[in-house]
Structure 1
């Protein structure tokens, strides 16, 4: 049965479908590191979401046009590095060039440190680092969607209230804001 078009409220404006992602931005912008020995790469990523809590599982979209796609597919490992606002320029810079042509660690003054369980490095300057292994590739060919399991996690205890970056599109970002605490049955 065909749908009838509802009247558009006069206080609403049509949003182009290409901008919907900015409304549903799934989490902080992260720096995904991969390794193709001896070369490590950094990719700016903002399309990831939690799937499971224990063990932690994450879904992320890595475009097959990115250098990191081939490295992630070949190695089956990566590190999700979570930067704070003080790294905004490096985050954008890493997203605006290809690791196939540029050593992003050198260009953006970031420090690679060895991970404990995967070959991809941690980024020292990031607030948190999640060592991951690919556990499911069934949606990679259709959607470039990798399912990862976190196998080790690190956090910088000196960062008390991290301001993470959230992508809004067209070079605009929000910073994670004020925290509030409400009653919850979740631990």
Structure 2
């Protein structure tokens, strides 16, 4: 399901400092409070000094959207971000199972799955990261699907590769 005009958040793992401003900005935007656990972007640090920002990469075939039995997930035609119809989501978890990076999240106290919608084309996480001067996140046009697949992996796998590069 190709979408015209797609945006993509490019992550430079070498520039992330684990400040988690992206999580704060995201939760403020979507939850109207600082609630990093409910952020659509998560920073994992499975190894000291190896932070891994993890967020939806808008896979070319959108397995999360295609797996939803209630059609609660949709692709925003302008941005390529995934939106959730909160009235249709049953928290069945099929989207989490279908996602190669296991990015959609089900949180206690939230009545629908959480997934990045690219903030309608102006991602708050990117703005916060760049305003702080870290520049680990950048909005770019959607790259080739082979590049997307490099990012569409569980954070633990990405962290292991970074650990070898950073820590030897």
Bin of the TM-score, shorter chain as denominator length? under 0.3
* TM-score (ref. length: structure 1): 0.24
- Higher strand share goes to which structure? 1
* TM-score (ref. length: structure 2): 0.25
